[in-house]
Structure 1
Amino acid sequence: MGALRDRIDRIAADDRMPWRQWRWAFGAVWLIFLVYPISSLIASDHSVGVKSLGLVFIGAFGLVYVAACILFMNNGPGVDVDTERSRWVFAGVLVALVLALFPILHEATFGLAGFLMAIISFIAPRRLQVAVIIALIVAAWVVPKVLGWSVDFGVVAIMAAIGMTMIAMRAVSERESARAEMHERQRELDAELAVVAERESVARDVHDILGHSLTVISVKTELAGRLVDRDPERAKAEIAEVNALTRAALAEVRTTVGRLRTPDLPSALASAGSALRAAGITADLPDPATVSTPNATLFAWVLRESVTNVVRHSGASSCEVTVTPETLVVRDDGQGSPLLTFGNGLRGLAERVDAAGGRLEVSSDSCGTVVTATMTEEN
């Protein structure tokens, strides 16, 4: 009984104690049916001592039944092993009290069968519950005949009604439990999907930042290597810009992962111009100071990825960027490449634009590539 005492202690320490919820009262209300065996006992011709003993047994039965309702009514079958064992202990005590009352109450003892049906509904699997309820109803009809007692049809009818009610309640309870479990699994799945979406979003951010910054750094370091002998001063300037880009990229990675800030369009335009010129590509860009759009943050991501692809893959000699409040267009005169249409960077960028309520269109052929971001809603 140590496990049972531990369970009682845990319940007593819980702010949501079953007796405070009053759910147990639904089971305890059936105690009114103890009137039938008590009245039968009082009306019998037993001695006062036997009647007193019978009242003690009936009182103990009622107390054990109420305790079982309080402790176990909040949980269905299939809980931990210690709790399951405790339930069967309670059921065993109730059955023992019923057997002790048989020599005293005779057929009136079946007035306690409804309580056994309720307890078995708390602790047993569905098939065992149905089997026990049917067995009790049959026993209420057969046992009195075998022992020569009178059959109380009212008791049999009440037992059948209680049994069917308990079976129906058990079915409804299991359906509700299954529905609750399904909702809980759905909530867990939604939480997992949210985590995955957040990870993908961070991955896109880091890809966009590092892809752009590392491309610019690569181009500038190659240029500095070619200029180191011919034009040392310009080579130093390029290396200084590489250092600045490296520090900026590191800061942006940190803030992006921490969700502290997002890129701004003027800085992205300035960085794009620097990257294009370092790659020997003529840049036709709007003045960062004159650009005004409610979609600046999103367009900054689009511009970064698009210019990175121009520098990496296009082989272009010129690149034009056009910005309006609702659209951003990046057009180059390169050879075009399937990578520009199907690469991971633009695929992730398309997801970002779609999530913001817009669409990303990419066309790439031998005449060049055009990336167009169009917003249908304000970002």
Structure 2
Amino acid sequence: MRRQAKVMSGESAAMERDESQESQKLERVLLEKRWKERRARRFFRYISLTYTLFFLIDPILSHRRDAWIALAIAYPIFLLSFVVAAETRGRTRWIAYTVLFAVGYVYMPFNSSASGLFVYPVAMLPFILKKPRKALVAMGAQVSGMFLEMAIFGLNRWAVCVGVFFVVVITLTNLYYAEQERSNAKLKLANEEIEHLATVAERERIARDLHDLLGHTLTVIALKSELAGKLITSDPNAAASEIAEIQQTSRKALAEVREAVLGYRSQGLSAEVDRARKALATADIKLICDGLPNELPIAEETVLCLAVRESVTNIMRHSEATEVWMQFRFRDGRLHVTVADNGKGGVKEEGSGLRGMRERVEALGGRLSIQSEVGTQLTIDLPQGAATA
């Protein structure tokens, strides 16, 4: 009994360890994706500063010393305020925004080519203000202020109108992207809530299944053990018969638990492919699947589920692919599975995940091969056995 309990405990621990490792891998992939997105936003944010080269037009054409002095004073203040507004949060950020707006209004009369100063603060506001209406009000106030300043100081009408055009276009464009980001964030929260509820429901199902599976069996074992203990002195033959039945019942229970554990590790190949499709979609990768089997033996289905999971994780982490193809074919009494992508390829050595996949496939009498010259193609060849297409 102790040995059987240790086996059951070991299988349960292995299942939890595999699930934990897969969860950690997916979390690392998502973190890497978010970090790349942040780096991309930061890159484009600072590359937009190249447009400040237009601020030099007026000082160069006017040949006035005071124009260069005004630029030397205003530009460092603008640059510092821009960086602070982009990299900080809370009160400090709003102070930086106020300075950005003020620099635009103060410096514009000295340099008509610097109307772009008004673009930078309103371009970032849609991503900070939660309500689009506030960003539109800020844009309207900015445009009104620009026209008012043009009327008061007699500024170049063409330069001001160009600035107004870019303020309106960039603000509206960023409003669209900001709303899209918020919608994606809400969708992500909703998906996380659904996953949490599904996890809770799955735990409750496992608890019910284990109760139904082991409750009766363990009760029988306990009663027969008690009876054997009473009979061991008065009727040794009857006690031996009871002990034999206990061994038979415990072996049957162990087999049922093993089958249940395999079922818990995989909810089916179809469900695993659906999860793969959703995971790849988060990385903007399209999955095309063909010939998915309707039914497979538990052992083969579990191995293929783990193989699909490991392949998708590797594709998301390393491949830089945009499309993935999965194909399942029964041919000559064997099941042939292909997972291919159009990424950069270049797999030179197998990591622990691929080695574990190969060991599981070979344990079922199958073969696994990898080609990675152009993209990466993983091929699994398993004996068909009791599988049906």
TM range (shorter): 0.3 to 0.5
TM-score (normalizing by structure 2): 0.46
TM-score (normalizing by structure 1): 0.47
- Which of structures 1 and 2 has the larger relative contact order (alpha carbons within 8 angstroms, sep 6+)? 2
Q: From the CA coordinates, give the structure whose radius of gyration is larger.
A: 1
